[in-house]
Chains A and B, each alone.
Chain A
Amino acid sequence: MSVLKITDLHVSVEETPILKGVNLEISQGEIHALMGPNGSGKSTLAYALAGHPKYTITGGSVEIDGTELNELDANERSRLGMFLAFQYPVTIPGVRVADFLRHAVTNVRSPDRKEGEGLMPMREFRKELRDQMEELDMETEFARRYLNEGFSGGEKKRMEILQLAMLRPKFAILDETDSGLDSDAVKVVSEGVNRLCGPGMGVLIITHHERLLEFNKPQFTHVMLAGRIVETGDAQLAHELHANGYTSVRERHPEVAAEETQEEAAAVV
């Protein structure tokens, strides 16, 4: 069983420290929820785990089964089993969904593939893609469209889940995959995630809402405040936060809350 281990992680964006010592361990098969107010560092953690070049790891480590990811680029991390479902998926004009995914799937499943080497056989790939699209209730016509170009918000998120389904990572980070969707779309996405969760995948669900968590009940809920995980509980904690907000969390961690206030003040200046 694989383990994603985050130890005392410090991350800066353009010299500004955002994460200040995050500790988190996720095993395959587990569902973790990460909650916290805006600006607490949730998306920063997601980007830093995936390897965005703008997010600099200044201390601590990220490991999968003892292999340190700190110095690896996003492509190498994805081949080790890391996946990020984007909050705002990117459009790549002129690149067809099927072509993009065929490259992606081939690389992730044959991590040692060199550029220019053969891709996954077309027939096999097409069949698998068609099957997965059917499960997600997507028109087959989607495969020929240009990646995310002219997609609605719901279509983009569904596209992320389709990629998740095709790439079958060891660890998936869902960065507000439920935001901006109507309840029908949330249902489709949630069911999709639910179908994919299992012993082979560890999931970190970043969310403001509770809806995604109703379908995908977390064993662990973490609360982030001012760049640290200040509390960890079970699904009940997520429910409480959703119902009551973060006031009580701030009361329980006055020093971190004070830091949060200072940062806000600094940001305004």
Chain B
Amino acid sequence: MSELTATTTSIPTGFTSEVFEAFLQTRDEPDWVTDRRRDAFSLFQKLEAEELDPEEWKRVPLRAFRSGKFQLQSEVATPTGLSTLMQDRAEFAGAVIHLDGHCLRQSISDSLQEKGVIFGGLSTVLREHGDVIKPHLATRGVTAETDRFSAWHAAFWTGGTVLYVPRGVTIDEPLYSLISLARDGAADFSHTLVILEDDAEATLLEETSSESETAAGLHVGAVELLLGREARLRYVQLQNWNSKTWHFAHQCGRVESSGSLQWTVGGLGSRLAHIHQDVHLDGRGAEAQVNGVTFATGKQTLSYYTQQTHNAPDTRSDLLYKDVLRDNSRVIWRGMIKVEAAAQQTDGYQRNDSLMLSPTARCDAIPGLEIEADDVRCTHGATAGRVDVDQVFYAMCRGLTEYEAMHMIVQGFFQTVTDRIPVKLVRETLDKAVERKLGIGN
């Protein structure tokens, strides 16, 4: 690693003005991109001095976080063999692999390319298809203005996976995206951008992973899922960093008329994760299903701030998060359904269920509603429970070991959400991840 830093114009650690200028030197980007970065950086400096919105952040323990310890990587690292859950599991129609903020490789089947599908790393796609993505990139999904983290990301984004599906094109096989970190102290600012034109359909499975169990990491990311009329997207993001990684993300899905978004979030890794997840139903008849499966152990904190915003009539949103907590971990879920005055006849649902495996774990679930329309149905709820000894004893009386019993109980708890996920690979991956977390598999 010392060799690398000695031979390249490396970017210093931290995120100061000097660092920003050094970072720009390593980028070969059109002016409009650089201009946007500069605007975002000014905003970041301003917002960094201001307090974060307490409504969103007051429960999130950021005291130990030191952004100055992390470093954007100017050089591609040499992969040493990532242990990922999905990568080797199936045939994908295309794959994009990022390591330490750089796109290592990208592939897409010829047949999809012929249909006009674009799938690759953001830096490359910007060069080759800048005109296609310029109207969509950070303009109506995740914009710089939201808060310190969105501005930070907009100034420093390093890459990310882009999927563009033209009108009427259906992709049957899933596409795969891996965001990974290797070097100690490395920062990844990846930006996932999915654009489905009218009546397009696709499935994108995305995973985050660390090469080593001990390297500290930082992810300040963004996800934008932009669906046209009658478009259908299944998007899965499985967050599986090591327990030394900080994960901050703004994620936003926007769905036009009669479009349908199924969005599944898996929260397994990281030291602390805070995800601001927004779904906007912009056109009549749009619908979104949001599934969350989280499993926190050790001293992890997993925090989700979810919003389902109904901007148009006859829209439907359905959010179900299932959290399992063990040891001294903490899960925070703050959910909000917003219904604008124009969004009559909408149906909004949100629910969070927690299963506590240890008395020392803590879960905060705070659902909320803001309704401007007068003819809607909105339902919300939250539950928390623990594995009781009688369940374990009952299973053990039938010959299951304590671990098998716990495994079954935890899997059973997740079942109602995994029942909703149509992609078998994802169900199996989640099962496998749960096994690892429980200490059964390897």
Contacts and interface: CB of A to CB of B under 8 A. Distances in A.
User: A and B, one complex?
Assistant: yes
Interface of A: 50-54, 73-75, 77-79, 83-84, 86, 89-95, 99-101, 103-105, 107-108, 115-116, 146-147, 163, 167
Contacts of B440: 115-116
Given A75-B400, A75-B402, A108-B399, A95 B393 contact: no
Contacts of B409: 92, 95
Interface of B: 389-391, 393-404, 408-409, 411-416, 440-441
Given A73-B402, A116-B441, A92 B395 contact: yes
Contacts of A83: 397
Contact of A92 (B389, B408, B416, B441): B408
Given A74-B393, A92-B409, 15 more contacts: A51-B396, A52-B393, A73-B396, A74-B397, A75-B396, A75-B400, A78-B397, A79-B399, A94-B411, A95-B411, A100-B398, A108-B398, A115-B403, A163-B398, A167-B398
Contacts of A79: 399
Contact of B415 (A54, A91, A94, A116): A94
A53 B412 CA distance: 23
B414 to A, nearest CB: 7
A130 B71 CA distance: 61
Contacts of B398: 78, 100-101, 103-104, 107-108, 163, 167
Contact of B408 (A89, A103, A105, A107): A103
Contacts of A107: 398-401, 404
Contact of B399 (A52, A78, A147): A78
B329 to A, nearest CB: 21
A167 B394 contact: no
A163 B440 CA distance: 26
A176 B231 CA distance: 58
Contacts of B401: 75, 107, 115
A115 B401 CA distance: 8
20 contacts: A73-B396, A73-B402, A74-B393, A83-B397, A84-B397, A86-B394, A90-B391, A90-B393, A93-B415, A93-B416, A95-B408, A95-B411, A100-B408, A101-B398, A103-B399, A103-B408, A105-B399, A107-B400, A107-B401, A167-B398
Contacts of A146: 412, 415
A41 to B, nearest CB: 19
A107 B398 CA distance: 8
Contact of A104 (B390, B393, B399): B399
Contacts, number: 91
Nearest to A149: B412
A93 B419 CA distance: 13
A1 to B, nearest CB: 22
Given A100-B408, A103-B408, A146-B412, A92 B400 contact: no
Given A53-B393, A90-B391, A167 B412 contact: no
A100 B404 CA distance: 10
Nearest to B353: A93
Nearest to B403: A115
A53 B394 CA distance: 11
Minimum-distance CB pairs A-B, first 7: A94-B412, A94-B415, A107-B399, A74-B396, A95-B412, A104-B398, A90-B394
A124 B299 CA distance: 44
A104 B416 CA distance: 22
Contacts of A103: 398-400, 404, 408
Contact of B395 (A51, A77, A94, A100): A100
B147 to A, nearest CB: 37
A147 B390 CA distance: 14
A74 B391 CA distance: 12
Given A54-B389, A94-B412, A115 B404 contact: yes
A21 to B, nearest CB: 25
B404 A93 contact: no
Contacts of B414: 94
Contacts of B391: 90-92
Nearest to B419: A94
Contacts of B403: 115
Contacts of A115: 401, 403-404, 440
Nearest to B390: A90
Nearest to A107: B399
Q: Which of B390, B395, B398, B402 is the most central at the interface, judged by chain A CB atoms within 10 Å of its CB? A: B398
A91 B409 CA distance: 10
Nearest to A90: B394
Contacts of B399: 75, 78-79, 103-105, 107-108, 167
A99 to B, nearest CB: 8
A116 B414 CA distance: 20
B397 A51 contact: yes
A92 B393 contact: no
Contact of A93 (B389, B393, B413): B413
A67 to B, nearest CB: 16
Nearest to A113: B399
A134 to B, nearest CB: 21
Contacts of B415: 93-95, 146
A79 to B, nearest CB: 6
B413 A78 contact: no
Contacts of B416: 93-94
Contacts of B390: 90
A93 B396 contact: no
Contacts of B395: 92, 100, 104
A146 B414 CA distance: 13
Contacts of A77: 397
Given A53-B389, A75-B396, A116-B440, A93 B402 contact: no
Nearest to A82: B397
Contacts of A101: 398
Nearest to B415: A94
A104 B413 contact: no
Contacts of A92: 391, 394-395, 408-409, 412
A115 B442 CA distance: 12
